[in-house]
C-alpha cells in the first residue's frame, strides 16, 4: 500500500492512480484519511467552487490538500489524499451520491451540505433519496461537525440527525425541488427568508434559526460579527458558496476574518468565469450550469441585452442522457436578445427557445457558434466578447477546442 501510494504521488496522484490503489486495497480511502483533518463538501450545485473557497480559507491555517479539479468520486478522493502533505488538512469535494461512503471511510471533522435539487435523474435518482442517505450517514457520524444550508428543507432534514450543526442562511432562491416535507410528505409553506423562512404545514419540521447568514454582501454571525464579502467571483450564488465556506472554515478552527479575506483572491474555478480567446479577435466568457437550479443562477450572471448569448447543451453520461430538464429552465429570461444554440442537443434547446419566444439560431460547432454570436452583436456593443453558458461536457468541449492557445485575457469583476 505504501509503495503504491509513493508511485501515485510521483505520478501526480491521477484518478487512474486512485483506481489502481482501490483495486489493490479497497480500504485505501480509509487508510489514507486516518489521522487527518478532513473536510467534505457536497451538494447538487456549487461543490467545486465551495471546495476552492474553503481551501483558500483553511490555507490561512497551514497547507491544505484538495481535489481541486473536481474529481469527486472515491478514486478522486484517494488520489488527492495520496498526494497529502504530512500535517496538512484535506478539503475534498464529494459527489452527493457518495457522501455516505465517504463519511464512513474518511471520518471527516467537518461536512458541508450545500443544497439538493434535480440533477441527472436518469443516473442519480430523486433528491429525497440523497437526503435520506445523507441523514443516515450523519446519524452514524456524531463526531462530525455539519455545516448546513438552513434555507433548503431537504438539507435541514438530513442535518437534523447530527449532534453538532452550524446552520447557515444563504437565502436560497430555488424552491421547486422542496415542495413537500421530507419528514411527512405534507406541503412546505414558504415565507420570505430569512425573516419568515419555511415550515411544514403539518409536522414540526421548520427552518431553524441561522448561526451564520448572508445579508447581501455581508456575512453575519450570531455573536454580532459582521464581515464584508467581496469576491472576484460574480453573483449571489458565489456569495452563498462563500458563506458556507467561511462557516466551514470556522468549524475547522480557522479565523473568520482571515478566511473571508483569503476567499477574495479566488478569481476563477476550473475554468468557470474565465475569458478565453476563440480566434478572429473574439473572446468568450465561460459560465457552467448543469441543472435547472444552476441554470436559473447562470442566467442572472449574463451581461444584459442586447449582447447575444451562446448556450451549449450536450446529453452525455456526465450531463444526464435525458435533456427534458430544459423545460424547467426559465429561458424566457432571454427574450429580447439573440441566442445561438449549440452542442449535441442544441436542436432540443432550439425547440425550447422557440416556445420561450426567444430569437435564436442553431449552429452545431461550438466555436462557430461563438463567432456567429459575436458577429450579430450591435455595432459598438463589445461584440468581440460573448457570454457562453454551457452544461458540463459542452463546457469542457469548448475549453478543449480553444486548446493550448487558451488565453485568460480577462476575469470577471467583483459581484
- pLDDT value of residue 17: 82
- The residue ranking higher by pLDDT, 270 or 395, is 395
Q: In this model, does residue 187 exceed pLDDT 70?
A: yes
Range name among 196-205, 208-217, 350-359 with the lowest pLDDT average: 196-205
Q: Provide the pLDDT for residue 14.
A: 60
- Which runs of E-coded beta strand occur in 32-163? 38-42, 64-66, 89-93, 110-113, 145-149
Tally of CB atoms within 10 A around 163:
12
Sign of CA dihedral 99, 102, 105, 109: negative
Is residue 247 over pLDDT 50?
yes
Give the mean pLDDT of 339-364.
97
Q: Return d(Cα 39, Cα 145) in angstroms, integer.
A: 9
**pLDDT for the residue numbered 415:** 31
Q: What is the mean pLDDT of residues 114-139?
A: 82
- H or E element in which residue 167 lies: strand 164-169
pLDDT value of residue 220: 98
Query: Confidence band (pLDDT; 50, 70, 90) for 93?
Result: very high
Does the structure show a pLDDT above 80 at 122? no
Residue 227: which H helix or E strand, with range? strand 226-228
Confidence of residue 409 (pLDDT cuts 50, 70, 90): very low
- Ordered by where they begin, the domains of the chain are 2-263 (3.40.1190.10), 274-411 (3.90.190.20)
Q: Is this structure's pTM higher than 0.85?
A: yes
Mean pLDDT for the stretch of residues 237-253: 97
Among 102-111, 118-127, 235-244, 306-315, the range scoring the smallest mean pLDDT is 118-127
Q: Does position 137 have pLDDT exceeding 90, yes or no?
A: yes
Residue 41: closest CA among 64, 70, 14: 70
Identify whether the C-beta of residue 264 lies closer than 8 Å to the C-beta of residue 231. yes
Q: What pLDDT sits at residue 318?
A: 85
Q: How many CB atoms lie within 10 A of CB 336?
A: 11
Q: How many CB atoms lie within 10 A of CB 76?
A: 23
What per-residue confidence (pLDDT) applies to 196? 65
Query: 235-251 and 292-301 are packed helices; what angle lies between their axes, rounded to 10 degrees?
Result: 110
- What mean pLDDT comes out for the span 387-397? 95
**Residue 306: cis peptide before it, omega within 30 degrees of 0:** yes
Cell digits of residue 105? 471511510
Give the C-alpha separation, 156 to 171, whole Å: 14
Q: pLDDT-derived band of residue 279, with 50, 70 and 90 as boundaries?
A: confident
User: Does the pLDDT value for residue 195 go beyond 60?
Assistant: no
Among 185, 201, 103, CA closest to 146: 103
Averaged pLDDT of the chain: 89
Amino acid at each position: 500500500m505504501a509503495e503504491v501510494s509513493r508511485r501515485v504521488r510521483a505520478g501526480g496522484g491521477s484518478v487512474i492512480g486512485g483506481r489502481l490503489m482501490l483495486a489493490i486495497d479497497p480500504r485505501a480511502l480509509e487508510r489514507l484519511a486516518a489521522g487527518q483533518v478532513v473536510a467534505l463538501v457536497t451538494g447538487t450545485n456549487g461543490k467545486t467552487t465551495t471546495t476552492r473557497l474553503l481551501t483558500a480559507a483553511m490555507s490561512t491555517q497551514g497547507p491544505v490538500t484538495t481535489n481541486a479539479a473536481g474529481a469527486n468520486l472515491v478514486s478522486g478522493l484517494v488520489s488527492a489524499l495520496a498526494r497529502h502533505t504530512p500535517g496538512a488538512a484535506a478539503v475534498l469535494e464529494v459527489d452527493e451520491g457518495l457522501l455516505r461512503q465517504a463519511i464512513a471511510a474518511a471520518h471527516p471533522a467537518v461536512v458541508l451540505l450545500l443544497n439538493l435539487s434535480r440533477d441527472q435523474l436518469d443516473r442519480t435518482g430523486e433528491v429525497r433519496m440523497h437526503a435520506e442517505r445523507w441523514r443516515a450517514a450523519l446519524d452514524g457520524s456524531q463526531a462530525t461537525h455539519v455545516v448546513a444550508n438552513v434555507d433548503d428543507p431537504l438539507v435541514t432534514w438530513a442535518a437534523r440527525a447530527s449532534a453538532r450543526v452550524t446552520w447557515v442562511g444563504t437565502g436560497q432562491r430555488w424552491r421547486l425541488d422542496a415542495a413537500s416535507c421530507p419528514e411527512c410528505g405534507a406541503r412546505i409553506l414558504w415565507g420570505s427568508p430569512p425573516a419568515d423562512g419555511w415550515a411544514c404545514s403539518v409536522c414540526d419540521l421548520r427552518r431553524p434559526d441561522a448561526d451564520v447568514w448572508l445579508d447581501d454582501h455581508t456575512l453575519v454571525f450570531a455573536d454580532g460579527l459582521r464581515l464584508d464579502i467581496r469576491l472576484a467571483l460574480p453573483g449571489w450564488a458565489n456569495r452563498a458558496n462563500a458563506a458556507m465556506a467561511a462557516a466551514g472554515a470556522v468549524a475547522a478552527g480557522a479565523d473568520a476574518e482571515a478566511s473571508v479575506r483569503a476567499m477574495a483572491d479566488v478569481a476563477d474555478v476550473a475554468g468557470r468565469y474565465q475569458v478565453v480567446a476563440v480566434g478572429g479577435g473574439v473572446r468568450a466568457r465561460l459560465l457552467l450550469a448543469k441543472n435547472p437550479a444552476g441554470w436559473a443562477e447562470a442566467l442572472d450572471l449574463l451581461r444584459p441585452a442586447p449582447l447575444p448569448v451562446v448556450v451549449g447543451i450536450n446529453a452525455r453520461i456526465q450531463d444526464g442522457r435525458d435533456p427534458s430538464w430544459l423545460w424547467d429552465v426559465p429561458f424566457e429570461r432571454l427574450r429580447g436578445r439573440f441566442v445561438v444554440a449549440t452542442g449535441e442537443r442544441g436542436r432540443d434547446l432550439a425547440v425550447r427557445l422557440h416556445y420561450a419566444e426567444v430569437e435564436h439560431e442553431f449552429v452545431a460547432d461550438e466555436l462557430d457558434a461563438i463567432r456567429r454570436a459575436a458577429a450579430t452583436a450591435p455595432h459598438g456593443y463589445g461584440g468581440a466578447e460573448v457570454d457562453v453558458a454551457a452544461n458540463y461536457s459542452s463546457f469542457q468541449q469548448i475549453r478543449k477546442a480553444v486548446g493550448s492557445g487558451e488565453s485568460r485575457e480577462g476575469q470577471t469583476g467583483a459581484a
